[in-house]
Amino acid sequence: MIRLAVLISGRGSNMLSLADAIEKYRIDAKIVLVISNKDCDGIALAAARGLATKVVKRSDFDNRPAHDAAIASSIENCRADYVFLAGYMAILGAVFVDQFAGRLINIHPSLLPAFKGLDTHQRAIDAGAKTHGVSIHLVNAKLDDGPLILQASLAVDETDTAKGLAGRVLQLEHQIYPFVLFSLAARTVTLLPDGVVWHAKTLAAAPAAMQTVLAPCVIWPDVS
């Protein structure tokens, strides 16, 4: 069974989508800890679901390395196999990233390497992008960087607003993140400190609901 720690900073919708998928699709995984760097709606929702939670406030520490170290200690203490960042809005230092190399995963609302950082949906519209979407990647010391695990795309309509586009991308997020967790549990993907190996580039083993959403739009990375 995969033991999963999830880091959040806000509403926690991707964290909840993971929890829902584990239950609904009987994924061989368990969320053992939800950590936030501040009090937020997601922590309250996780607690209401019976998930273990912890708030590690940046303001309680003299510097970022000390804050990172406290979070890392909590993750190690709960014996998490992987750490999923799900709307975690603080930058993690190189020491933390190195400690969890090959186990630290982020979801970003754009087709990386395009539109790293914030306000991705409005920036995609302003740039006249024809496609937009979501990326899941291994984390390295650079912002929104690291080897791609999987992406999913959708067409940008000329009538799209940032809010509307964000809503459609969020629907993809809520399918693609659970699919990556499913794939880790099914051992169809292996994450290494510096890369990704897909043993089967297929959705066939995934639950039908995931296949229906992702089949038209999944983008497999150019890896083995």
Q: How far is CA 127 from the centre of its chain?
A: 25
Q: What string of H, E and C letters represents the secondary structure of 99-134?
A: HCCCCEEEEECCCCCCCCCCCHHHHHHHCCCCEEEE
| The one-letter amino acid at 192 | L
Rounded to 5 degrees, what are φ and ψ at 145? -130, -175
Catalytic residue among 108, 132, 137, 174: 108
Which residue(s) pair with 148 in the sheet? 137
108 flagged as catalytic:
yes
Please tell me the distance from the alpha carbon of residue 80 to that of residue 181, in angstroms, as a whole number.
Answer: 13
The amino acid at residue 213 is V
SS3 13: helix
Backbone angles phi, psi at 165, to 5 degrees: -65, -40
Residue tagged 């200690």 (tokens): 73
Enumerate the active-site residues: 108
